[in-house]
Chains A and B, each alone.
Chain A
Amino acid sequence: MIGRQKQASKKGSWRKSLRITSRSVLLMVSLLLVGGLYLAVNARLARLGREVLDLQIEKAELERQTAELQSRLAELTMPDRMIERARELGYRPAEMGDIQYVVVEGYVDPEPFVAPEPPDSSVEYAGSLSPAYTETLGDWIARVARPIGEGAR
């Protein structure tokens, strides 16, 4: 009788510890799950933040290229260049006697040139984003290993 009671008591404490362990594990797993989710969300946010910065940099770079090309185009179409090219092609400036004036019915003067509205200026972070924030562990290992590799060569 006593032996049975002892056996029941042992069984009870084993079950209790199993219950405690399983609850602890469950709690840890839950915490890990929440932590993992939190990390995942934050990592995604960071990645998106980086993407935003990259897109801003790309947009600014494209705007710079456009401005550069517009400036080059403007240089190439300046009157002195155009006159030079026209002369090379055998043309000369029109003189007073070269021009025939005629009345064209319904002719209206062309609309005056209107400059495009200025676009908003891009705020760029490219100049400020340190590689401290962009260098991954892998990049770091590669950077540290490079001189060693160079030395071995």
Chain B
Amino acid sequence: MISESLPFRRVRILLIVMTAAVLAMVVQLIRVQFGTYAPVFAMWVEAAQDTEDEVSPDRGLIYDRDGDLLATNVPMYYLEIEVFQLTPASRKQIAAVLSQALILPYEDLYRQLTIDWGSVGQYRIRLTREVAGEDRWPITVDQVAADMLRAFLLDPEAPDLSGLKLVPAPKREYPASYLAGHVMGFVNQEGKGYFGVEGFYDDWLAGKPVTIERGYIPLEARLEPDPPAGVNLVLTIDLDIQQMLEEILREAIENASAESGQILVMDPRTGEILGLAIQPGLNPNNYEPWLEERGVTTAELMELEGDQDEAVINPAVGGQFEPGSTFKVLTMAAALDAGVVEPDTEFIDTGQIEVGGVRIRNWNGGAWGPQTMEGCMEHSLNVCLAWLSSEKLGASTFYEYLAAFGIGRGTGIDVAGEVAGQLRTPRHPEWTEADLGTNAFGQGVSVTPVQLLASVGAVANDGIMMQPHIVRAVVGPEGAYWPKPTVLGRPISKETADELNEMLAESIAGETHLASVNGYRLAGKTGTAQIPTEKGYDERWTIASFIGWGPVYDPQFIVLVRIDKPESSPWGSVVAAPVFRDVVERLVTMLEIPPDHIYEQLVAEESEQS
């Protein structure tokens, strides 16, 4: 027996190993070329001819003035299927698990998993669900559901979900939910911002998409430069004040059995909006029902151009109304500033005045006899104010002042959807002389709440009208930018503003005592506006309002309360004035404004110390 020599045996072993290695390579080559994934490779080869892809950066975050997060991006996941990884068992189990976890119809899911996608050149599909009346929408899951599915995918004992992939995508989330919902606006599934700050600053928040070359093959993986995210915004809103306003507004609407309402708080010195509460509220996390209630589908939302239909969404900037008696502040400011009257100028109120052939009467139809200008404001006498505009000021001066107060012109507030309001001047073809009389007490003229706040804010701010704004700082990769407060104009002098402040402070101390707050001298004016309809003014409903500010020695806030269609009482002095008081009682605590007598003591102490 001839035994095999040692070298020969080694050569044989070597040959076997090499043959096995070559065989494995051949199998792998055949698998790649003709195996399950061959079409996938072929598809990518074709796609590789155009590997440039547009990537949208992360949307910027939004904070309140104290750093509370108002809008952020949280992950959601699309459910995708790697078609060639599906097995008969995994088809059934994916459909079963998803239908139970997400409460979706099993049949619909299973049908999507059994379509021969390869025959139409699709090797990776995104699962979708039916949406009533609209096209199919991709199914998305949150982090909790995604974690559960991932655990299933990793657990060999769990249902077989082979082929299921979780593809992350950012979703806009608003941790404050309804709180300041109207201020925020919302972002749709495509990442476009609508309404509020999201709509106004959409381009800045979204950032600039960048084009990158995708490296789908690991060998070609490159370190692409990450695109810069959109800017972060810090708002002027104070979330604690916002919470307080919304709470008070909800109660006020309930107590008055009203339809809706708004409370706006602004710092008249800077134009910073500190709080803006609107009821009914909008939850930007779930905006679809809100749109549905207003007859706008999400598909229609995409087709909206510019700011149309904004009035439906944000009444603080888009909802114009006839302001009623709160407008008298501007008429009186004009008369005092023009020097046609003094605070103690006497007017004999006979209970009616005729302007342009239209007889104007007081709110109670009565004659109030001899009154000073202070009395005219305190008792809110339409006849007196119509006398001021028609006989003392005249159309030209009166409308010049209204223009200086920005009536009929948008304020430029940085919230999407602002409208300009309506003011007919003598140059308008439909203007009549009667308008001169009715405009004086806020009829036949429309303003938005923000517009009224800005214009009356001039009276509270030494005659200087500031632009209302909602963004305090813009923070980008280059650092923080703090927009400076913008002066819109100086419609009246400081002296006029001081005189009017005193008159309206006396008014609150007197007839409008329901708005007064112990320890604080405040100024303000009630308003009870009729609602115009196609057949004249609505006989049943009114808009009750109150605009006031304080403390009179150095106004640090101006508050506008508007309650729409109250059932309990039509009058602003009954419905809106107490709401103003409730707001101010909390506001002075939050803004750390001491009562007047303590302020005087503190000033005295400080001057002694210095």
Query: How would residues 39 to 51 of chain B score, 1 for a CB under 8 Å from any chain A CB and 0 otherwise?
Result: 0110010000000
Complexed CA–CA distance, A52 and B333 (Å): 69
Contact residue among B89, B167, B221, B594 (Cβ-Cβ distance under 8 Å from A126): B167
Listed stretches B276-284, B307-315, B476-484; interface member: B476-484
Query: How would residues 54 to 84 of chain A score, 1 for a CB under 8 Å from any chain B CB and 0 otherwise?
Result: 0000001100110110110011011110010
8 Å CB interface, A114-153 against B: 114-133, 135, 137, 140, 143, 147, 150
8 Å CB interface, B48-74 against A: 55, 57-58, 60-61, 63, 65-69, 72-74
Task: Give the residues in chain B near A90, CB-CB below 8 Å.
Answer: none
Judge whether B154 is part of the interface by a CB distance below 8 angstroms.
no
Listed stretches A1-9, A10-18, A21-29, A41-49; interface member: A41-49
Task: Give the residues in chain B near A132, CB-CB below 8 Å.
Answer: 37, 40-41, 44, 84
Contact residue among A53, A105, A123 (Cβ-Cβ distance under 8 Å from B227): A123
Kindly provide the distance from the CB of A150 to the nearest chain B CB, expressed in whole angstroms: 8
Complexed CA–CA distance, A67 and B124 (Å): 28
**Residues B218 and A118 in contact, CB atoms below 8 Å apart:** no
**Residues B218 and A121 in contact, CB atoms below 8 Å apart:** no
Contact residue among B61, B65, B212, B233 (Cβ-Cβ distance under 8 Å from A123): B212
Contact residue among A65, A103, A133 (Cβ-Cβ distance under 8 Å from B218): A133
Judge whether A113 is part of the interface by a CB distance below 8 angstroms.
yes
**Residues B480 and A115 in contact, CB atoms below 8 Å apart:** yes
Task: Give the residues in chain A near B230, CB-CB below 8 Å.
Answer: 118
Judge whether A89 is part of the interface by a CB distance below 8 angstroms.
no
Judge whether A108 is part of the interface by a CB distance below 8 angstroms.
no
Contact residue among A60, A74, A135 (Cβ-Cβ distance under 8 Å from B37): A135
Listed stretches B112-120, B443-451, B584-592; interface member: B584-592
* Known interface pairs A114-B473, A121-B229, A131-B82; A96-B243 also in contact (CB < 8 Å): no
Query: How would residues 79 to 114 of chain A score, 1 for a CB under 8 Å from any chain B CB and 0 otherwise?
Result: 110010000000001111001010101000000111
Kindly provide the distance from the CB of B252 to the nearest chain A CB, expressed in whole angstroms: 17
**Residues A131 and B219 in contact, CB atoms below 8 Å apart:** no
Contact residue among B167, B176, B214, B477 (Cβ-Cβ distance under 8 Å from A78): B176
Complexed CA–CA distance, A120 and B212 (Å): 14
**Residues B594 and A101 in contact, CB atoms below 8 Å apart:** yes
Task: Give the residues in chain A near B132, CB-CB below 8 Å.
Answer: none
Task: Give the residues in chain B near A112, CB-CB below 8 Å.
Answer: 65, 472-473
Complexed CA–CA distance, A48 and B229 (Å): 27
**Residues B216 and A129 in contact, CB atoms below 8 Å apart:** yes
Task: Give the residues in chain B near A105, CB-CB below 8 Å.
Answer: 609
Task: Give the residues in chain A near B229, CB-CB below 8 Å.
Answer: 118-121
* Known interface pairs A96-B585, A130-B40; A147-B63 also in contact (CB < 8 Å): no
Judge whether A50 is part of the interface by a CB distance below 8 angstroms.
yes
Query: How would residues 129 to 158 of chain B score, 1 for a CB under 8 Å from any chain A CB and 0 otherwise?
Result: 000000000000001000000000000000
Kindly provide the distance from the CB of B279 to the nearest chain A CB, expressed in whole angstroms: 15
- Chain B, interface SS category: mixed
Query: How would residues 163 to 191 of chain B score, 1 for a CB under 8 Å from any chain A CB and 0 otherwise?
Result: 00101101001011101000000000000
**Residues A115 and B233 in contact, CB atoms below 8 Å apart:** yes
Task: Give the residues in chain A near B207, CB-CB below 8 Å.
Answer: 121
Listed stretches B27-35, B394-402, B554-562; interface member: B27-35
Complexed CA–CA distance, A8 and B27 (Å): 50
8 Å CB interface, B474-517 against A: 475-477, 479-480, 517
**Residues B475 and A118 in contact, CB atoms below 8 Å apart:** yes
**Residues B240 and A79 in contact, CB atoms below 8 Å apart:** yes
**Residues A127 and B168 in contact, CB atoms below 8 Å apart:** yes
Contact residue among B167, B170, B588 (Cβ-Cβ distance under 8 Å from A127): B167
Task: Give the residues in chain B near A103, CB-CB below 8 Å.
Answer: 602, 605-606, 609
* Known interface pairs A96-B588, A99-B589, A130-B40; A125-B214 also in contact (CB < 8 Å): yes
Kindly provide the distance from the CB of B143 to the nearest chain A CB, expressed in whole angstroms: 5
Task: Give the residues in chain A near B476, CB-CB below 8 Å.
Answer: 117-118
* Known interface pairs A70-B69, A113-B234, A131-B82; A96-B595 also in contact (CB < 8 Å): yes
Judge whether B370 is part of the interface by a CB distance below 8 angstroms.
no
* Known interface pairs A79-B239, A79-B240, A103-B606; A133-B232 also in contact (CB < 8 Å): no
Complexed CA–CA distance, A48 and B218 (Å): 8
Judge whether B24 is part of the interface by a CB distance below 8 angstroms.
yes
Kindly provide the distance from the CB of B410 to the nearest chain A CB, expressed in whole angstroms: 27
Complexed CA–CA distance, A62 and B207 (Å): 22
**Residues B218 and A68 in contact, CB atoms below 8 Å apart:** no
Task: Give the residues in chain B near A130, CB-CB below 8 Å.
Answer: 37, 40, 44, 82, 123-124, 216
Kindly provide the distance from the CB of B34 to the nearest chain A CB, expressed in whole angstroms: 13
Complexed CA–CA distance, A118 and B226 (Å): 12
Judge whether B159 is part of the interface by a CB distance below 8 angstroms.
no
Judge whether B215 is part of the interface by a CB distance below 8 angstroms.
yes
Task: Give the residues in chain B near A114, CB-CB below 8 Å.
Answer: 234, 473, 475, 480
Task: Give the residues in chain B near A74, CB-CB below 8 Å.
Answer: 68-69, 72, 175-176
Contact residue among B123, B219, B228, B589 (Cβ-Cβ distance under 8 Å from A96): B589
Judge whether B6 is part of the interface by a CB distance below 8 angstroms.
no
**Residues A68 and B143 in contact, CB atoms below 8 Å apart:** yes
Judge whether B80 is part of the interface by a CB distance below 8 angstroms.
yes
Residue of B with least CB distance to A134: B218
Task: Give the residues in chain B near A77, CB-CB below 8 Å.
Answer: 68
Task: Give the residues in chain A near B63, CB-CB below 8 Å.
Answer: 113, 115
Contact residue among B27, B217, B228 (Cβ-Cβ distance under 8 Å from A121): B228
Judge whether B13 is part of the interface by a CB distance below 8 angstroms.
no
Residue of A with least CB distance to B219: A46
Judge whether B518 is part of the interface by a CB distance below 8 angstroms.
yes
Judge whether B539 is part of the interface by a CB distance below 8 angstroms.
no
Judge whether B568 is part of the interface by a CB distance below 8 angstroms.
no
Kindly provide the distance from the CB of B404 to the nearest chain A CB, expressed in whole angstroms: 32
Residue of A with least CB distance to B240: A79
Kindly provide the distance from the CB of B484 to the nearest chain A CB, expressed in whole angstroms: 14
Complexed CA–CA distance, A123 and B85 (Å): 26
Given A74-B176, A79-B242, A120-B477; 8 other pairs, CB 8 A cutoff: A52-B223, A103-B605, A115-B234, A115-B473, A120-B225, A133-B217, A135-B37, A140-B31
A-B contacts, 10 listed (Cβ < 8 Å) = A49-B219, A64-B74, A67-B75, A71-B69, A114-B234, A115-B67, A115-B475, A127-B80, A130-B40, A132-B37
Smallest CB-CB A-B distances: 7 pairs: A120-B226, A49-B221, A74-B175, A132-B37, A79-B243, A49-B218, A74-B69
